[in-house]
Structure 1
């Protein structure tokens, strides 16, 4: 099987992807952010049948020498390492440029020089901004409505430029709003679940009117593998989304129903984005993913989302997992 480097393997999606690839029989190298605690992030919590079956490279995606060293001997790079919290990008945009743009440059430069067979670079639906039309296909205009989304647009362009300029085999996966076990409480679904699980009847939330296309993490992970394996994906940008639009307000009700409770909502001003920075509507067209890779969501539509939310709530309400979250404070 191929040797696969997963950058950002210590994060929410990256840890699930690492586990999935190991279980599929791939030889996996997990690139995690170096720290003095020897923490591998969420990989420290992975299942026993996978924990000892991948090797770990601790480094920093901003360091070109470390990225090159990690890439040596790998056939494929799945590049997920990124800063993703939108509120944090408002007051620390420099770090987003360094991590998201320069980090991506380091990955594709190493891949080009070392002759890697394929790079799958991770984009985000946030690059589309508020929908000009729906469902959003890959030809939709790009709009930088936050420093985060602006740096992801830059990272995407760096990645695809290496395909255009040097024939580096790059594919871009563009997941819509992924949710599931292990997600940071800065995201809305874990914010709702952890507040309810800690006994809150009045939830502190931001805007309720925006709509999102929520994608369960198992579907996102399957999307990575499908794009990685599909020859037709090279040089392409591919949406991974459920093709199901739901508002934040309706999502609150779905979660409350799944957890068997009733809640009230209190608007917390600090959680509101600046007016022109809020992305009001996201709804994915996933036809291209099906056409080029055969991928389809298994958790799509209303019923699929209910199943995904039930699995997510079950994980978060486990006391051992819930204890790792600070539900009483706003996480940026």
Structure 2
């Protein structure tokens, strides 16, 4: 079935891949892009399907522009958010306004405009350090950063609109997504761009935490499959690979893909506060499969290979010598 869909956060990393796949599947896609006087549309400008997308400029924090954006659509995929954890230490209020108030604007506008379904994007950061693994959807929520706190609030707000007002809501909870177009705020492009720029020693933070890295094409297929399933309404559903890799082990995987030794120097500025560091994440993705039939297809090595190839061609867009927060 084809839908008229609004994607918020469409100009970003995951959002642009989601837009691309939704268009490929034959849906009509409206992309909400943050207003700017230069008419810059982020990664959407690089897509071959750009002419098949309706660009709508506005601001997720402004209810009027959000309501205009959701008008006449059937489904909203809500991805717009501030996501950098280190910057949430600096400006927590910005995260409250964007992640919580922005989500309210989407939910209320969808309710007022008769939108059929809102697919809300969560994050595995809401779980904090795993109390048990693999982490299923019943795992306790633990906010170890202001970012995680605002995402917990946004998730619960979305679920409350389902329970209180009958708005059809699905909460999709991706684990650590990586792939082409990701900013150097994330660890995988941080490692790869430093290596491709010729650094003999790369700078990282803590090498011990483990993560569940999911290639962006798998994350997007999971968001669509889970988000549009009739069996997931009112549910929180994890989307992850089911593989656990430490940051130190990740460096060795990237060594194999790029074909050179990588030496690491720990930089104190890149280390999160002790009580804020999420030490372990590993996804239990069984609910996604049981309710929608979704399962990841890419191995870590396949995803890293495609990511390295893309970053090699687009290295000029990055500043490997700088620490991105």
Aligned to 2:44: 43
Aligned to 1:311: 306
Displacement of 1:229 after TM fit?
2.1
Cα separation, 1, equivalents of 2:204 and 2:228? 40
Aligned to 2:234: 235
Cα separation, 1, equivalents of 2:78 and 2:205? 30
Aligned to 2:139: 140
Q: TM-score, normalised by structure 2?
A: 0.99
Aligned to 1:210: 209
Equivalences for residues 152-163 of structure 1 within 5 A: 152-163=151-162
Q: What secondary structure, in the 3-state scheme, does the structure 1 residue paired with 2:29 have? A: strand
Aligned to 2:15: 14
Displacement of 1:115 after TM fit?
1.3
Aligned to 1:4: 5
Aligned to 1:58: 57
Displacement of 1:228 after TM fit?
2.6
Q: TM-score, normalised by structure 1?
A: 0.97
Cα separation, 1, equivalents of 2:228 and 2:162? 17
Q: What secondary structure, in the 3-state scheme, does the structure 1 residue paired with 2:52 have? A: coil
Q: What secondary structure, in the 3-state scheme, does the structure 2 residue paired with 1:52 have? A: helix
Aligned to 1:329: 322
Q: What secondary structure, in the 3-state scheme, does the structure 1 residue paired with 2:317 have? A: coil
* CA-based RMSD: 0.6
Q: What secondary structure, in the 3-state scheme, does the structure 2 residue paired with 1:243 have? A: coil
Aligned to 2:172: 173
Aligned to 2:66: 67
Displacement of 1:262 after TM fit?
0.4
Displacement of 1:45 after TM fit?
1.3
Displacement of 1:102 after TM fit?
0.3
The reply on whether 1:103 has 2:98 as its aligned counterpart is: no
Aligned to 1:261: 260
Asked if structure 1 preserves the Cα contact closer than 8 Å seen for 2:13 and 2:43, the reply is yes
My pick for the range that moved more, 271-280 or 219-228, is 219-228
Displacement of 1:327 after TM fit?
0.4
Post-superposition Cα deviations, 1:165-204, rounded to whole Å, max 9, x if no partner, equal: 0110000000000000000101000000000000012010
Displacement of 1:78 after TM fit?
0.2
Displacement of 1:150 after TM fit?
0.4
Displacement of 1:2 after TM fit?
1.1
Aligned to 1:28: 29
Asked if structure 1 preserves the Cα contact closer than 8 Å seen for 2:172 and 2:227, the reply is no
Aligned to 1:124: 123
Runs of 5+ consecutive residues of structure 1 not aligned to the other structure:
none
Runs of 5+ consecutive residues of structure 2 not aligned to the other structure:
none
Cα separation, 1, equivalents of 2:304 and 2:262? 16
Post-superposition Cα deviations, 1:17-49, rounded to whole Å, max 9, x if no partner, equal: 001111110000000111111100111111x2x
Cα separation, 2, equivalents of 1:23 and 1:263? 38
Cα separation, 2, equivalents of 1:139 and 1:201? 44
Cα separation, 2, equivalents of 1:201 and 1:175? 33
Paired positions, count? 324
